[in-house]
Structure 1
Amino acid sequence: MSRLSKIAEANPWRQNPWFESVAVAQQRAKKKLPKSVYMALVGGSEAGVTLRDNMDAFSELEPKPHVIGAKQDRDMATTVMGQPISLPVMISPTGVQAVTPDGEVDVARAAAARGTAMGLSSFASKPIEEVIAANPQTFFQVYWLGGKERVLERLERAKAAGAAGVILTTDWSFSMGRDWGSPAIPEKLDAKAMLTMAPEIAVSPRWAMEWARDVITNKRFPDLTTPNLVNQGEMGPTFFGAYGEWMGTPPATWDDIAWVVDNYDGPVMLKGITRIDDAKRAVDAGVTAISVSNHGGNNLDATPASIRCLAPIVDEVGDHVEVLLDGGIRRGSDVAKALALGARAVMIGRAYLWGLGANGQAGVENVLDIMRSGLDSSLIGLSKSSISELSRDDYHIPDDFVRRLGA
C-alpha cells in the first residue's frame, strides 16, 4: 500500500495533507491563513505587472521534447557558492515568516531534509543561530541598512554563527503602493493583536490553534520583531521599524559592495541584478555569485520578468561568477527552463511560503518534492541524464522574449 493510500485509509474524512502542485498549496494556504497573513505572501508593488510577468514569461518558452531516448538515470545535484545541494532549487530569503510558530526554523528543517540550502532574511522572525542549527547550509541575507558599522556587526555575527555565506540584497521595494493595499503586521501576537484580528481568526481555526498551542507550550506571546538586525539576545526593531531604518540609510554604492566582499571571509552573492552593466560591475566588485532578480515583483513595477533578463547576463558574466535566478518559479519545469538559459540554480520564495502556510515544515518539503519531480519530468522528456546537459536548444525561445537591459 502506498504512503498516500495509507493516509487516505487512516483519515477517510480528512483532507489529504499532501498536495501535487504549488497552485494547490496556495489555495490551501489561502483557506487556512487569516486574510492579512495570506495577503502578506502574495502582494507585488503597484499594479503587479512584474509579479504576473515573472510567472507568465515561463509559458512563452516551449520545450522540444523527444518521444524516444529518455535516460534511465538523471542527476540533479549541483553546487552553489561552494555548497553541494541535491537539486538546483534553494530557499530565497523572505522577511518575517511567522506563518507558523517556528517560521524560518520550519523552512530550514525542510530544506535540510531535502538536501538544499536556506537563505535567511535579515528581517526574519527567528535568530540566525537557531536557523543554522536546523540547516548548516544557510546563507544570511544582508541589507545595506544602518551604515558600515551596523552592516559589519551583522557580517561578523553571521560568520560567528557559521553561515555558509551572505546574500547582499539591493533590489527591495522602492515603490510603496499596492493597488490591493498592504496588510497590517502587528509587533507581537499578543491578546491585543488577537482581538484586533478576531474576525479573521474566527474563520481560521486551524491557524489559531497552532499559535495557541505554541503560546501554552512556551508560556509567552511570540514577537514579530527582527532579531538578526541587532546583537544576539537583544530585542530587534519591528518589521516596519527596520524598514524605516533601511529607507533612512543612504543607498549602497559599488564601493560599498566591494567593501562587503573585502570584510566578509566567505562567499558573497549580490541579489537584484537585471542589467548587463550592473552584472559587470558586480564582477568587478568581487562577488562570488549574482541573482538575476526583481525581488519577486516588489521593485519598480513593469520591470521585465527575471527570466527575460537571464540569458544576456549569463552570456556576459557567466564565466566569471555563478548566476542564479529568482522570481516566478512555480514548477519544476520552470526550473528546467532557467537552467537551460544558463542559471546554475534558482531560488524560490512565494512557492515555499504557501507550502509553509498549507502544512508547515511538511508543506515546504512537499513544495521541494514538487520542484524535483517536475524537473525530473523535464529531463525525461528532453532525454537528458543531467541538468548540466540542458541548453537553449531544448526550447523554442520567441524572438521578442529576451530583454537586454544595460547592454
Structure 2
Amino acid sequence: MAHKPLESVNEAHIKAKRLLPKDVYDALEAGSDSGATMSGNLAAFTQIGMIPRVGVALPAQLDLAATFMGQQIEMPVVVSPAAAFAMHPDGEVGVARAAERAGTAIGLSNVASVGIEEVTKANSRSFAQLYWSGDRDVIAARVERCRKAGVKGLILTIDLSATRVAYNPRDWGSPVYPDGINLATLVKYAPMAASHPTWFLRYVKQRTLPGLNAPNMGTVGGPVPTLVGGLMEWLGTAVPTWDDVAWLAGLWGGPLMVKGIVAADDARRAVDAGATAISVSNHGGNNLDTTPSPLRFLPSVVSAVGDQVEVVYDSGVRRGTDVLKALALGASTVMIGRPWFYALAADGERGVYEVLESFRGTIERGLVSLGKSSIRDVTIDDLVLPDGFLIDTDLRHTRTTARQGV
C-alpha cells in the first residue's frame, strides 16, 4: 500500500492517539490542573480573524525565510525542546533529521532521551535547552558540554511552575514515570505493550526499548541519570533569579533565549540580564492553570523590548495561519511542541518532516489569501482582534530586527 503523508497536525494527533498507550498519550496531551491554560492557548488563535485580500499580483516563489537566534531557517517554524520518551524509537535524533531536511532548527530538551552530541550531528542548527538544575558548577559543566557539542545557542526555561511540571496535579490524574527499565517495570507494563502492538513492534524492529534515561543531565563519560533522577535534581534546585540569568549569559557568551515570559516587565528584565532572545510562552499549558494564552501578551512584550532581542512565540500553534497571526503580532518566529510529538508518534522521522511541510504549505496558502509575498509583510492590519489583547503601543509598523534582517 502506498504511503499517505500526514497533511495536518490534527491528522497526526488522531493517529498518535490511536497508536500510543494511554499513559504515554496522557503524558504528552494534558495540561496542568484543569487544563484551562492549554485549552485557552488553542482558543486564542481561533478568536483572531484574518482579512483576505484579492486581486494582488504575487511571485511564484513566496518568501518564508527567517532567522532564529542568528541562524538562517527556511520557514519561521522551529522545533521546541521537549523530551520524546516512548513516542517512537526514532526519538529526538529522528526529529532533528526531519527538521534539518525541512530547513529549520531544533531545540533539544535538557531531559531528552538522547545526548546533545547525537543531535548536533543530525541537525546543523541545534540548540540546547537548560533547566536550572544543580549548583552553578554543575550547570557550568553542562554549558561546556553544549559548547563542545557545537550547539548554536542555549534556551533557558525559566518559568517557575514549569519546573514542577512533572509533578503538577491534574484533575484527571497525573502520569507516573518509572525510574528506569528493569524486570519489574517490564512486567508491570507488559499489558500496555500487548494492547498496542504497533507501538511496541516499532521498538522490537529496532531492537530497543523506550528510553527512560536523561543523558544530558549527566556528565560525558559519567553515569547516565534516569529521567526520574534528573527530574528530582531539578525539583530540588532553587528557582533561578535574574542574577543567575546574567551569570549564565556571561558564562555562555553566545545566543541565549529566556523561555517562559509573558509579562512585559519580565521581558525587560531578561534583556537587562543579557538574553538575546525571548520566548513568549506558558509551557504549552503545563504551567500555572488559568494563565491566559501568551498570544494575548505577545504585543505588549514586543512593545516592551522593541528591536533589542528576538521575540519568539510558543504555545498552542497548530497550523500555518497560527504562525502568521503570531508574526503579525510581532514575533520573529514560532516554536512548536505537541505538533512534532503527534507527528513522531504517528510515523517517526517521516511524520515529523511531513507535519513541518504541512506548516510550510499552510503558511504559503495563508500568504496568498492575505495578498502577501513575504512573511515580513504580514502585520496587525491583517487581523481582527478581540478584546483582551495587551497592545499598549501602535504595532502596525513595528517589526523586530530579526525579521527585517532576513
TM-score with structure 2 setting the length: 0.92
Indicate the residue corresponding to 2:399 in structure 1.
none
2:267 to 263, 276, 279: 279
Secondary structure at the counterpart of residue 297 of structure 2: helix
Whether 1:202 aligns to 2:194 is yes
- RMSD between aligned residues: 1.6
Counterpart CA distance in 2 for 1:318 and 1:203 is 53
164-173 vs 122-131, which deviates more?
Answer: 164-173
In 2, Cα distance between equivalents of 1:112 and 1:288: 23
Which of 40, 55, 65 is the matching residue for 2:52? 65
Pairing partner for 1:252 from 232, 240, 255: 240
Residues 1:146 and 2:126 aligned together? no
What does 1:11-22 align with in structure 2 at a 5 Å threshold? 11=2, 16-22=3-9
1:46 is the counterpart of 2:33: yes
Query: Per-residue deviation at 1:389?
Result: 0.6
Q: Which amino acid in 2 is paired with 1:210?
A: R
Please, which of 227, 251, 263 is the counterpart of residue 251 of structure 2?
A: 263
1:214 Cα offset (Å): 2.2
1:88 is the counterpart of 2:80? no
Cα separation, 2, equivalents of 1:370 and 1:296: 20
User: Is the CA contact 2:80–2:335 (under 8 Å) kept in the aligned structure 1?
Assistant: yes
Deviates more, 1:174-183 or 1:316-325: 174-183
Paired residues of 2:53 and 2:371 also in contact (CA < 8 A)? yes
The aligned runs of 1:386-405 (5 Å cut-off) are 386-402=374-390
- Secondary structure of the residue that 2:78 maps to in structure 1? strand
> Secondary structure of the residue that 2:186 maps to in structure 1?
helix
Aligned 1:3-402 pairs, distance under 5 A: 10-11=1-2, 16-72=3-59, 73-171=61-159, 172-174=162-164, 176-215=168-207, 221=209, 223-402=211-390
Deviation, 1:210, is 1.0
Gaps of 5+ in 1: 1-9
Q: Relative to 1, partners in 2 of residues 1:70 and 1:19: Cα closer, same or farther, differing over 3 Å?
A: farther
CA gap of 1:206–1:221, structure 2 versus 1, over 3 A, is closer
Counterpart Cα distance in 1 of 2:297 and 2:180:
39
Separation of aligned partners in 1, 2:225 and 2:154? 21
Kindly state the Cα deviation for residue 67 of structure 1 after the two structures are TM-superposed: 2.4
Unaligned runs of 5+ in 2: 393-406
Alignment coverage as a number of residue pairs: 387
Tell me the SS of whatever aligns to 2:205: helix
Tell me the CA shift for residue 39 of structure 1: 1.2
Cα separation, 2, equivalents of 1:310 and 1:250: 28
Q: How big is the shift at 1:101?
A: 1.7
Identity %: 47
- Distance apart, 1:173 and its partner CA: 4.5
2: CA distance between counterparts of 1:305 and 1:235? 40
Verify the 8 A CA contact 1:98 1:125 in the aligned structure 2. Answer: no
SS in 2 for 1:156: helix
Q: In 2, are the aligned partners of 1:70 and 1:384 still within 8 Å (CA)?
A: no
1:315 and 1:401 mapped to 2: Cα distance? 13
Q: Whole-Å Cα distance in 1 between the matches of residues 44 and 187 of structure 2?
A: 42
Larger mean Cα displacement after TM superposition, 160-169 or 229-238: 229-238
Question: Residue 401 of structure 2 corresponds to which residue in structure 1?
Answer: none
Deviation (angstroms), 1:186: 2.7
- Change in CA separation of 1:53 and 1:129 when aligned onto 2, cut-off 3 Å: same
- When structure 1 is superposed on structure 2, of 321-330 and 164-173 the one drifting more is 164-173
| Cα distance change on mapping 1:233 and 1:222 into 2, 3 Å | farther
CA contact (8 A) 1:143 1:170 kept: yes
What CA deviation, in whole Å up to 9, does each residue of 1:109-141 have, x standing for no partner? Answer: 000010000000110000000111101211000
User: Would the alpha carbon gap of residues 181 and 267 (structure 1) be closer, same or farther in structure 2, given more than 3 Å must change?
Assistant: same
AA partner of residue 121 (structure 1): S
Kindly indicate whether the alpha-carbon contact (under 8 Å) linking 1:96 and 1:226 is maintained by their aligned counterparts in 2.
no
Q: AA paired with 1:261?
A: A
